[in-house]
Structure 1
């Protein structure tokens, strides 16, 4: 066997091995679990007098912006967490009556403080600081 045949044979063998490993790891065609981090370097301000941010004027309201969910709890506190589930990066929704963030894809839930309350999420949500000054709500890391 010459050098060209040897390298060709190794390439086919390596590709076959990689394919077998990829197929063996898949769970029913579902992508494998990954730990998704929230955005970093966050610092923006929402004007609560604008129509686009009107959901935050009501207890239990929320909106998604800049990869972040900003919500107003049922007791009127402002909270902010990453918008994507830490399991597979699907968008979360805020369920004020249940005081949680919920992933419609696999059912993961998180407390208002971002802690995992139901799997398959591998870790808590990234949380952000909120500061209300008059009608301006600052969200930052």
Structure 2
């Protein structure tokens, strides 16, 4: 290896390490500053006759609105919880067949009432009230 190749290789190695270090720092900063709590002062209404909310017409369907997952259980009851995992704020999904909320990032699961059923999360989800009046579904704190 000649001198030019050596310095070229050395430069690439240093650049690679710098990039990896920066990515690690960003992830740490994001994790420590992430808000793992649900939104506060929630008060909104979904029109179930609107096509955008059609997922809630079927048992087991869900949607995300205003930072909240609104779901219809397999028995037809409406439930609402914060949309993000309390472990690291990744988006949750609702798994109706398992009656739970699931975080695909680290595998945390939560019951339909927001309680942790599998870690690494240790804090329950923020839950919200629901009130169905005709085709209007109100979600509120």
**What secondary structure sits across from 1:54 in the alignment?**
helix
8 Å contact 1:35–1:87 — kept in the other structure?
Answer: no
Partner of 1:119: 119
- Scaled by the length of structure 2, the TM-score of the pair is 0.77
8 Å contact 1:35–1:122 — kept in the other structure?
Answer: no
Deviation at 1:36, TM superposition (A): 1.0
Deviation at 1:122, TM superposition (A): 2.1
Cα RMSD over matched residues?
1.8
Partner of 2:87: 87
8 Å contact 1:35–1:123 — kept in the other structure?
Answer: no
Q: Determine if the alignment matches structure 1 residue 136 to structure 2 residue 97.
A: no
Cα gap change, 1:126/1:37 in structure 2, threshold over 3 Å: closer, same or farther?
Answer: same
Q: Determine if the alignment matches structure 1 residue 73 to structure 2 residue 73.
A: yes
**What secondary structure sits across from 2:45 in the alignment?**
strand
Partner of 1:48: 48
**What secondary structure sits across from 1:56 in the alignment?**
helix
**What secondary structure sits across from 1:138 in the alignment?**
strand
State the aligned residue count: 115
Whichever structure has more helix as a proportion of its residues is 2
8 Å contact 1:90–1:105 — kept in the other structure?
Answer: yes
Partner of 1:58: 58
| Separation in 2, partners of 1:40, 1:94 | 21
**What secondary structure sits across from 1:52 in the alignment?**
helix
